[in-house]
């Protein structure tokens, strides 16, 4: 089978799974979509009084069907945590439910197998790209490029597999499959099981579209699509207001970044004439553009716009604020979407655009600075968080900052390398925290944990490995990628000592906060409530098995990118770099330049970072095991700083004040009043004026125009009045007047 | 049959109306069934257009021309190009859906109600088919009357205010437009010696820029009120809020498109010099952008579900007019596509409101919350409608918006930068609306007893959702249909547009028919 021609099928498997779940899932698992959540004190009110509106036709058909289940439960209470986990509810599970467990992870497994087949075939090719164009998607019309040439707005539905997308699809389908398996255990007691898996499969579909697309616009389809799935999954427990808020925030903050992405695409299209990666790279490599060293040129603006898009999706400053809130979603979602895959989309996109970013060195500096700043900012917040998932969320933001730092200094393959190792150990840590929360009956506050290491040994051991890996202890995955980032930051042309120092400080903080989390959770005295302690149990094998596999990955994944310095290891241990290098090679075919440094310096820096990591762990041990009073006294000594960190540098408050309340709601209110009073006021005013004029005219008409007419008639009437007196109607009187008249005439003639 | 196909489509609702008048008024179900048959029949009979229409053929197709009032130079001249094809399909489909969604909602004066709808249908189809200004104006005004009664008789509490506002406002615009038409009519007599309302004839006029500008502004008032463009939009929220569901659906989906269609069919081709006047284009583009952002912000703070959607229409129509005034192929094609998209998405959103209004008789957002627990099917359909309206890729809205943005960017990158904020705000007001109505806990006891959507109600949405996915995933046929008429408009206003140097390095496909003509 030629998998390379079938890469378009890879995303379609999860799409099929999603479609099955969302259309037929309810038949397989006929639980209510959710427990009907009713606010306290709300009673059903039957409002059937309006019979004259004739519900007759559709009445009673679906009525009550969906909340019959709900009424049986004690549904008023608030779970408080993302994991319902109420065994006592004892839903009667449909016997068909196992089909969901078969279909959804199965579809991802199929995708994974296809991906593996395709990647294997790709390795056999001399020219390591495979492009499949299926049909024209946006068959737009001609347009003038910025240089006056006529081009066509033309976007294909096409897929591109190259070394970069190979890494991504293997990570997405591989880790995605593991997380699906884990979810079958973790979500077993939740309502809306099929809905969860439908969304999750849909997410994998969009994520695969994102990384397999052969052009920016189709990439954007995946980009927005994963945003949607993230919205749906963060808001999975939608009866909780906080979950709804968090989902909405994630979507809208991402949209802000997307606006930048769209502008970048439009400018790119207008400059290059196409959005297809191969075309764009061909034009950029053709020599028509030179690096914009001197100032901000078109390519710099394009790359800045794209990077702004990446700050949204990949949670970088200033748009990272949505990611910690996204922890409202179920924990497997946090692991898959908000740690391993979706949030790395920005890293992927910039790596994909390396030809562009190479020509825009100013953007490179911006990316590196923003990355380093985000890394240390998020790490500082992680130091004081007490919610286990929030620590991991800020840690993710911080690690993504590392990846951007690597991208900014031009070490694209290292960024992707860290992306991959991070996917392993961060997925492991999140899933481990999920297992902890599972064991704790939904408790996420580390202050109420402690001493769990013997209660849930597999979770403990695997998380221990993850925490060592992320801290950067040699031999585990995190060390290799993080050390390479620090080295490249120090040594490459675009790097600097300051950025390296920031990275190193962040590494120390990382080791500290991760081990603070480990010590608070697993070591020391137990602070677990009696109720939670009674229910404590290790997670089922579907969860612990996955943790173990990921733990292996967290150890082994790094060995694909051993430092050049460790020359006793052969080229095989540097597969990752060699595999990716053709993607990032510039037009002339040479790799990104590295300034030569002595091996001694490199060894020194390596030992520095190891020492810093070990130091972080030891300080954490001293603070939280040996002298637990110290953290409190430090917090008491610098209350302002402590509160600022706990409050996340007040960024949420500032954004809320400036943008949500100020710009949007304030603007909406002001403009709404403007609309009512001024714009519509004009219309109503015109109406009023017309009526006023009409009244005036009516008055004029009645009193002046018609008045004249009536005056004339009045005068005539008045003038006729004396005559009327004579007109009595009596014939005798008339006869008398006639006689008088005759007499007068006669008299006249006689007298004359 | 081909040579009379358009007449048949135009007269089907009229014939149905004639029969309806003889049906016994007391037998409401008979009237409903008949009206639905006519509505659906009207849609079915328009389907052959899709297969028989030849994309890429210049000029109009299925043309029919008969002298009507020879003394005036008025003709019964109808015909269609790609633009009118799409709008006709939208009209016949939305018309049948609007008639179907009224089944339970209308219980009083049923016969008169359906009669008005069928009359409305005739007017709308006529507007999109007319190739003679006199005929066009007759249909344009004809639309006002049934809509006035639909709002004024079957509307909400402030129906009289809304109906009169709607009628007078749009009538005022039409009268100015009539002055513009008459100016062209008499100018044509002066230049060519005979009177005619034929658009093809009027296009031969050679008018000085000054006169073109006057006529352009006269047309502008007429069309801008109909669209409605800022600041002529305030009749729209009132009309929408008070109109019955079907009235809102038709108003949003079809009636507003008469304005944008007017710009494309008349303002641009008849008055090319004025249309390319930099000052005019700037003013119109800025008004469109204000409409996009302003409509979205005002929408954000509405407490009334229906009013929120009404203001979102102002925002979306701002995209449509911005596309037109970009004056380039992608802007205009995107605009037409977005007109269809807006019809589909906003039509769905008004249907959604209608469904909940029939159950609760209130549109206040604060009355709702947590409905997704009680009405899961409704929640899914509302979500799809919302995402389609918010421009999510693989649904219809994205294709139109992205194409318009491309066109706007080509005209002026700053326009595109402002317009793109409308996309952010669009997500904000829709998601917030969704959260306040559908998510969270059920806080109002009245909402606990609501029944989910019936099969008839779901059936309203099925064709619209299918259509929205089709446009989102495979919009190529739409671009194929639009390529020719759009290039004719562009060549009319910017004669040298297609003759620029062609980019050919590594671009896979170069326009084959667009550049050749």
Note whether B440 contacts A239, CB cutoff 8 Å.
yes
Please state the ipTM of this predicted complex: 0.90
Backbone angles phi, psi at B198, to 5 degrees: -60, 130
Q: Are A191 and A34 in contact (CB under 8 A)?
A: yes
pLDDT in tens, B296-306: 999 988 889 99
Note whether A66 contacts B376, CB cutoff 8 Å.
yes
pLDDT in tens, B480-509: 999 999 999 999 998 888 886 665 444 443
Minimal C-alpha gap between B13 and chain A (Å): 26
Percentage of chain A exceeding pLDDT 70: 90
pLDDT at A59 over 90: no
Cα–Cα distance, A614 to A468 (Å, whole number): 9
Return mean pLDDT, chain A. 84
Give the other-Cβ count within 10 Å of B71's Cβ: 6
B487 to chain A: closest CA residue: A141
Note whether A679 contacts B231, CB cutoff 8 Å.
yes
B428 to chain A: closest CA residue: A252
Note whether B300 contacts A269, CB cutoff 8 Å.
no
When pLDDT is averaged across residues A441-467 and rounded to a whole number, the result is 89
pLDDT at B370 over 80: yes
Q: Tell me which of A291 and B311 has the higher pLDDT.
A: B311
pLDDT at A44 over 80: no
Residue B211 lies in a domain: no
Question: Which of A29-43, A334-348, B89-103, B169-183 has the lowest average pLDDT?
Answer: A29-43
Quick one: pLDDT at residue A595? 53
The answer, for A295 touching chain B at a CB cutoff of 8 Å, is no
Q: Are A456 and A431 in contact (CB under 8 A)?
A: no
Note whether B406 contacts A53, CB cutoff 8 Å.
no
Residue B37 lies in a domain: no
**Token reading at A551:** 């733990």
Residue B511 lies in a domain: yes
When pLDDT is averaged across residues B408-431 and rounded to a whole number, the result is 92
**Token reading at A118:** 């395709």
The answer, for A659 touching chain B at a CB cutoff of 8 Å, is no
Quick one: pLDDT at residue A15? 94
Residue B459 lies in a domain: yes
B334 contacts: CB under 8 Å, gap ≥ 6: B323, B400, B401, B402, B403, B404, B405, B406, B407
A residues 150-179 closer than 8 Å to B (CB) = 150-154, 156
| pTM assigned to the model | 0.88
Give the other-Cβ count within 10 Å of A44's Cβ: 16
pLDDT at A608 over 60: yes
Quick one: pLDDT at residue B324? 95
For residue B56, CA distances in Å to A234, B470, B484 come to 47, 21, 5
pLDDT in tens, B82-127: 999 999 999 999 999 999 999 888 888 999 999 999 999 999 999 9
Residues of A in contact with B417 (CB under 8 A): 263
Residue B34 lies in a domain: no
Q: Tell me which of A40 and A379 has the higher pLDDT.
A: A379
Residue B246 lies in a domain: no
Nearest to A55 among B104, B375, B394 (CB): B104
pLDDT at A553 over 60: yes
Quick one: pLDDT at residue A109? 94
When pLDDT is averaged across residues B187-204 and rounded to a whole number, the result is 91
Query: Which of B164, B168, B301, B397 should we substitute to test contact with A (largest number of A Cβ atoms within 10 Å)?
Result: B301
User: Which residue range(s) make up the domain with B371?
Assistant: 291-517
Question: Which of A186-195, A335-344, A455-464 has the lowest average pLDDT?
Answer: A186-195
Provide the total of helices (H) and of strands (E) in chain A, helices listed first.
Answer: 30, 2
Quick one: pLDDT at residue B496? 84
Minimal C-alpha gap between A665 and chain B (Å): 6
When pLDDT is averaged across residues A594-605 and rounded to a whole number, the result is 76
When pLDDT is averaged across residues B219-224 and rounded to a whole number, the result is 94
Cα–Cα distance, A547 to A466 (Å, whole number): 10
H or E element: which one contains B68?
A: strand B61-69
A371 contacts: CB under 8 Å, gap ≥ 6: A316, A400, A401, A402, A403, A404, A405, A406, A407, A408
Cα–Cα distance, A407 to A363 (Å, whole number): 10
Query: Which of B28, B221, B333, B451 should we substitute to test contact with A (largest number of A Cβ atoms within 10 Å)?
Result: B451
Cα–Cα distance, B180 to B184 (Å, whole number): 6
Residue B429 lies in a domain: yes
Quick one: pLDDT at residue B501? 67
Quick one: pLDDT at residue B402? 94
pLDDT at A658 over 90: no
pLDDT at B516 over 60: no
Q: Which residues of B349-375 are buried (b: 16+ CB within 10 A; e: fewer)?
A: bbbbbbbbbbbbeebebebbbbbbbbb
Minimal C-alpha gap between A597 and chain B (Å): 40
Cα–Cα distance, A374 to B126 (Å, whole number): 60
When pLDDT is averaged across residues B205-234 and rounded to a whole number, the result is 92
Residues of A in contact with B515 (CB under 8 A): 142, 150
Residues of B in contact with A156 (CB under 8 A): 508
Quick one: pLDDT at residue A180? 92
pLDDT in tens, A139-158: 889 999 888 888 889 999 99
Q: Are B211 and B183 in contact (CB under 8 A)?
A: yes
Tally of domains in chain B: 1
**DSSP classification of residue A666:** I
Q: Tell me which of A66 and A544 has the higher pLDDT.
A: A544
Minimal C-alpha gap between A466 and chain B (Å): 36
- Bridge partners, residue A144, by sequence: A150
Minimal C-alpha gap between A493 and chain B (Å): 32
The answer, for A730 touching chain B at a CB cutoff of 8 Å, is no
Quick one: pLDDT at residue A32? 61
Q: Are A174 and A180 in contact (CB under 8 A)?
A: no
**Token reading at B20:** 């309806």
Cα–Cα distance, A182 to A462 (Å, whole number): 14
Residues of A in contact with B462 (CB under 8 A): none
Residue B58 lies in a domain: no
């Amino acid at each position: 089978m030629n998998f390379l021609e079938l890469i378009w099928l890879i995303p379609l498997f999860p799409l099929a799974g999603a479609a099955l779940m969302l259309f037929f899932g309810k038949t397989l698992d006929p639980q209510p979509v959710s427990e009907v959540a009713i606010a306290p004190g709300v009673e059903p009110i039957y409002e059937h009084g309006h019979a004259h509106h004739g519900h007759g036709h559709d009445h009673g058909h679906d009525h009550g069907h969906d909340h019959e289940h709900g009424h049986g439960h004690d549904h008023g209470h608030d779970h408080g945590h993302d994991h319902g986990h109420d065994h006592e509810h004892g839903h009667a599970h449909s016997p068909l439910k196992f089909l969901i467990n078969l279909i959804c992870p199965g579809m991802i497994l199929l995708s994974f197998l296809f991906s593996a087949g395709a990647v294997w075939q790709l390795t056999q090719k001399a020219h390591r790209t495979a492009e499949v164009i299926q049909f024209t998607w946006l068959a737009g019309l001609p347009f003038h490029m910025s240089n006056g040439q006529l081009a066509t707005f033309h976007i294909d539905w096409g897929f591109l597999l190259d070394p970069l997308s190979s890494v991504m699809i293997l990570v997405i389908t591989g880790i995605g499959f593991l997380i699906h398996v884990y979810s079958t255990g973790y979500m077993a007691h939740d309502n809306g099981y099929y809905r969860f898996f439908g969304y999750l499969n849909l997410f994998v579909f969009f994520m695969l579209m994102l990384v397999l697309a052969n052009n920016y616009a189709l990439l954007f389809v995946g980009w927005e699509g994963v945003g949607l799935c993230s919205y749906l999954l963060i808001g999975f427990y939608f009866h909780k207001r906080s979950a709804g808020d968090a989902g909405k925030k994630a979507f809208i903050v991402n949209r802000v970044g997307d606006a930048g992405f769209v502008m970048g695409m439009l400018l790119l299209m207008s400059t290059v004439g196409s959005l297809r990666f191969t075309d764009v790279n061909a034009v950029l490599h053709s020599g028509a553009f030179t690096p914009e060293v001197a100032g901000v040129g078109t390519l710099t603006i394009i790359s800045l716009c794209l990077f702004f898009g990446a700050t949204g999706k990949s949670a970088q400053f200033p748009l990272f604020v949505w990611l910690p809130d996204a922890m409202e979603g179920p924990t497997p979602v946090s692991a898959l979407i908000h740690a391993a895959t979706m949030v790395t989309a920005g890293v992927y996109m910039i790596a994909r655009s390396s030809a562009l970013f190479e020509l825009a060195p100013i953007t490179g500096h911006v990316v590196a600075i923003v990355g380093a700043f985000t890394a240390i900012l998020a790490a500082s917040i992680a130091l004081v968080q007490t919610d286990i998932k929030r620590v991991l969320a800020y840690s993710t933001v911080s690690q993504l900052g590392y990846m951007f730092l690597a991208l900014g200094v031009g070490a694209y393959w290292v960024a992707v390398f860290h992306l991959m190792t991070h996917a392993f150990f961060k997925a492991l840590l999140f899933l481990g925290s999920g297992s902890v929360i599972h064991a704790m009956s939904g408790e996420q506050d580390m202050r109420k944990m402690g001493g769990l290491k013997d209660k849930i040994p597999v979770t403990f051991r695997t998380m221990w490995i993850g925490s060592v890996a992320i801290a950067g202890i040699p031999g585990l995955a995190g060390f290799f990628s993080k050390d390479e980032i620090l080295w490249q930051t120090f040594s490459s042309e675009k790097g600097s000592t300051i950025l390296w120092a920031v990275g190193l400080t962040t590494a120390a903080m990382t080791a500290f906060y991760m081990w603070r989390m480990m010590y608070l959770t697993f070591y020391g005295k137990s602070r677990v409530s009696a109720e939670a302690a009674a229910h404590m149990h290790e997670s089922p094998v579907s969860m612990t098995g996955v943790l173990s596999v990921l733990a292996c990955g967290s150890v082994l994944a790094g060995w694909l990118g051993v430092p050049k310095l460790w020359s006793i290891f052969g080229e095989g241990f540097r597969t990752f770099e060699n595999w990716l290098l053709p993607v990032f090679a510039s037009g002339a075919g040479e790799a990104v330049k590295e300034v030569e440094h002595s091996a001694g310096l490199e060894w020194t820096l390596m030992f520095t970072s190891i020492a810093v990591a070990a130091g972080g762990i030891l300080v954490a041990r001293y603070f939280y095991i040996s002298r637990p009073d110290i953290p409190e006294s430090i917090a008491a000594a610098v209350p302002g700083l402590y509160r600022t960190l706990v409050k996340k540098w007040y960024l949420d408050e500032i954004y809320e004040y400036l943008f949500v309340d100020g710009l949007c709601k304030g603007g909406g209110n002001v403009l709404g009043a403007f609309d009512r009073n001024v714009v519509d006021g004009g219309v109503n005013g015109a109406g009023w004026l017309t009526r006023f004029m009409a009244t005036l005219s009516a008055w004029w008409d009645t009193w002046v125009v018609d008045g004249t007419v009536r005056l004339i008639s009045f005068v005539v009437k008045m003038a006729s009045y004396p005559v009327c007196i004579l007109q009595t109607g009596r014939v005798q009187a008339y006869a008398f007047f006639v006689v008088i008249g005759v007499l007068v005439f006669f008299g006249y003639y006689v007298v004359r | 049959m081909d040579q009379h196909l358009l007449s048949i489509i135009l007269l089907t609702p009229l014939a149905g109306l004639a029969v309806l008048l003889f049906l016994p008024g007391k037998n409401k179900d008979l009237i409903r069934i008949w009206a639905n048959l006519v509505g659906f029949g009207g849609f079915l009979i328009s389907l052959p257009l899709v297969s028989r229409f030849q994309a890429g053929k210049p000029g109009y197709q299925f043309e029919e021309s008969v002298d009507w009032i020879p003394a005036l130079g008025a003709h019964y001249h109808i015909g269609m190009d790609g633009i009118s094809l799409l709008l006709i399909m939208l009209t016949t489909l939305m018309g049948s859906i609007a008639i179907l969604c009224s089944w339970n909602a209308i219980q009083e004066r049923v016969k008169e109600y359906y009669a008005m709808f069928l009359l409305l249908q005739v007017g709308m189809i006529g507007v999109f088919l007319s190739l003679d200004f006199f005929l066009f104006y007759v249909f344009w005004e004809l639309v006002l009357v049934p809509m006035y009664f639909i709002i004024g008789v079957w509307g909400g509490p402030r129906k009289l205010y809304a109906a009169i506002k709607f009628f007078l406002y749009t009538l005022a615009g039409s009268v100015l437009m009539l002055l513009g038409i008459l100016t062209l009519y008499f100018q044509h007599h002066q230049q060519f010696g005979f009177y005619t309302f034929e658009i093809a004839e009027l296009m031969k006029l050679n008018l000085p820029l000054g006169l073109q500008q006057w006529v352009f502004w006269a047309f502008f008032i007429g069309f801008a009120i109909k669209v409605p463009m800022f600041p002529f939009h305030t009749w729209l929220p009132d009309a929408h809020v008070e109109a019955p569901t079907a009235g809102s659906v038709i108003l949003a989906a079809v009636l507003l498109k008469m304005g944008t269609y007017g710009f494309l069919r008349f303002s641009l081709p008849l008055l090319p010099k004025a249309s390319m006047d930099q000052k005019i284009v700037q003013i119109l583009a800025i008004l469109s952008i204000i409409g996009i952002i302003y409509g979205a912000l005002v929408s954000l703070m509405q407490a009334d579900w229906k009013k929120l959607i009404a203001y979102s229409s102002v925002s979306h129509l701002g995209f449509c007019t911005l596309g037109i005034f970009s004056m380039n192929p992608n802007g205009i094609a995107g605009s037409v596509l977005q007109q269809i998209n807006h019809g589909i998405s906003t039509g769905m959103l008004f249907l959604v409101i209608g469904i909940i209004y029939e159950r609760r008789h209130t549109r206040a957002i604060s009355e709702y919350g947590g409905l997704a627990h009680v009405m899961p099917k409704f929640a899914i359909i509302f979500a799809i409608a919302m995402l389609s309206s918010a421009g999510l890729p693989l649904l219809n809205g994205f294709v139109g918006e992205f194409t318009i943005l491309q066109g706007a960017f080509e005209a002026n990158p700053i326009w595109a930068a402002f317009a793109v904020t409308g996309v952010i705000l669009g997500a904000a007001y829709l998601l917030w609306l969704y959260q306040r109505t559908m998510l969270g806990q059920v806080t109002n006891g009245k909402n606990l007893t609501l029944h989910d959507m019936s099969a008839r109600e779901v059936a309203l949405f099925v064709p619209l959702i299918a259509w929205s996915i089709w446009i989102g995933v495979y919009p190529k046929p739409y671009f194929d249909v639009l390529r020719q008429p759009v290039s004719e408009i562009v060549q009319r206003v910017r004669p040298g547009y297609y003759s620029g140097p062609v980019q050919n390095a590594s671009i896979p496909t170069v326009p084959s028919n667009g550049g050749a003509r």
